[in-house]
Amino acid sequence: MRVIVDRLSKTYRDRTGRELAALVDIALRVEPEEFVAVLGPSGCGKSTLLGIMAGLLPATAGQVFFEGERRDGQPLTATVFQEFALFPWRSVRRNVEFGLEELGAAPEERKECVARFIAMTGLEGFEDKFPHQLSGGMRQRVGIARALAVDPAVLLMDEPFSALDAQTRTLMMEELLGIWERARTSIVYVTHNIQEAVYMADRVVVLSRRPGRVLDVVPIELKRPRHEGQMGEPAFVHAQERIWGLIKTQAQAALREGRA
Ligand SMILES: Nc1ncnc2c1ncn2[C@@H]1O[C@H](COP(=O)(O)OP(=O)(O)OP(=O)(O)O)[C@@H](O)[C@H]1O
Ligand SMILES: [Mg+2]
C-alpha cells in the first residue's frame, strides 16, 4: 500500500479557543512495503501525524491518501501506540485477539492467528499473563502482535521502543525488522531516536520542532537485512550526522527556551 500525505496541517484549539499549530504543510510518501521513519523532537506533532494517518484525528487542511489493493476485510492501518495502550483486564492472548474480534473473524481463525503472532513476537508461555505481570519489552511485543494480527495494509508505530533500555531496544529493533521482512507491510515508524531511525528505515523524514514541518527526507543506503555491525559503517555514520545537523539548531533553540 502506498501512503500519500498531501499538504497536511493540524491546528488544535483549546477550550478557550486559543489555537496551537501542531503540523504545517506536511507532504510525504510511503511506497508499498517501504519502512519510513518520521523523526522529530518532542512535541513536534509526530503522534498527531500518526493519529491523522490512522483516521483517529481530523486534519485541519490537506489529506492522506492510500493507494493500492487490499484483500477483503483487510484493515487499512493498525497502530502501535506510544503508551502501550493494552487492555489491562485482558490476558496477552485476549489482547492480541482484540482486533480480530472487531473484524469479526471466526473463532478458529482467531485462535490460529493469535498463536502465530504470539510465536512471532516471542510471547509463547505468556499467553495467560496480564499486562501488569509483564516487563515493558513484553508489553510492547503484545502491542506489536495485536497490531500485526489484523494484517493491516500499513502499520503505524509511535515510538514503540522509547520506554525500553538500550539493550532490549536493540534486540526489539532486530526483531521488528525480521517481522517486517516476513509480513511486508508498509511501515511508518515515529521516533525521536536518530540511531533507531537510521538502523531500520529506508528513508527518514525529519521534522522541525513544533509546528512540525518537513526539514528533509534522508535516504538510508544500507543493505538489508540490517545488522548491528552496520552501525559503524560510513553510510550509517553519515546519515546520522546529516540528520543530527538538521535537528541540532532546532534542539539548541528549544534548550534556550527551556523547553527541551
Ligand atoms: N488534543 C490536543 N489539544 C491541544 N493540543 C494538543 C493536543 N494533542 C497534542 N497537542 C499539542 O500538539 C503538539 C504536538 O503534539 P504531539 O503529541 O503530536 O507531539 P509528539 O511529537 O508526538 O510529541 P512526543 O515526542 O512528546 O510524543 C504538542 O504541543 C501538544 O501539546
Ligand atoms: Mg508522541
For ligand 1, whether the C-beta of 44 sits within 6 Å is yes
**pTM of full prediction above 0.85:** yes
Q: What is the pLDDT of residues 107-140, one digit of tens each?
A: 999 999 999 999 888 899 999 999 999 998 899 8
Distance CA 82, CA 80 (A): 7
Q: Whose CA is nearest to atom 5 of ligand 1?
A: 12
For ligand 1, whether the C-beta of 46 sits within 6 Å is yes
For ligand 1, whether the C-beta of 22 sits within 6 Å is yes
Residues 194 and 178 sit within 8 Å (Cβ to Cβ)? no
pLDDT of residue 55: 96
When pLDDT is averaged across residues 47-61 and rounded to a whole number, the result is 97
Query: What cell was used for 242?
Result: 546529516
For ligand 1, whether the C-beta of 72 sits within 6 Å is no
Residue 49 CA: nearest ligand 1 atom is 18
Distance CA 120, CA 105 (A): 20
Residue 45 CA: nearest ligand 1 atom is 18
Distance CA 138, CA 161 (A): 11
CA of 45 to the centre of ligand 2 (A): 7
When pLDDT is averaged across residues 151-161 and rounded to a whole number, the result is 93
CA of 18 to the centre of ligand 2 (A): 21
Q: Whose CA is nearest to atom 12 of ligand 1?
A: 22
If you classify domain 2-68+154-256 with CATH, what class do you get? alpha beta
Q: Pick from 4, 2, 12: which is nearest to 45 by CA?
A: 12
Residue 42 CA: nearest ligand 1 atom is 25
CA of 43 to the centre of ligand 1 (A): 5
CA of 47 to the centre of ligand 2 (A): 4
Q: How confident is the model at residue 258 (pLDDT cuts 50, 70, 90)?
A: confident
CA of 189 to the centre of ligand 2 (A): 11
Percent of the chain clearing pLDDT 90 (strictly above): 74
Q: Whose CA is nearest to atom 6 of ligand 1?
A: 12
Domain locations in the chain as residue ranges: 2-68+154-256, 86-152
Distance CA 107, CA 97 (A): 10
Evaluate if residue 106 carries a pLDDT over 60.
yes
Percent of the chain clearing pLDDT 70 (strictly above): 99
CA of 192 to the centre of ligand 2 (A): 9
Cis peptide before 88 (omega within 30 of 0): no
CA of 12 to the centre of ligand 2 (A): 15
Burial class (CB in 10 A: 0-12, 13-18, 19+), 106: exposed
For ligand 1, whether the C-beta of 14 sits within 6 Å is yes
For ligand 1, whether the C-beta of 21 sits within 6 Å is no
pLDDT of residue 184: 84
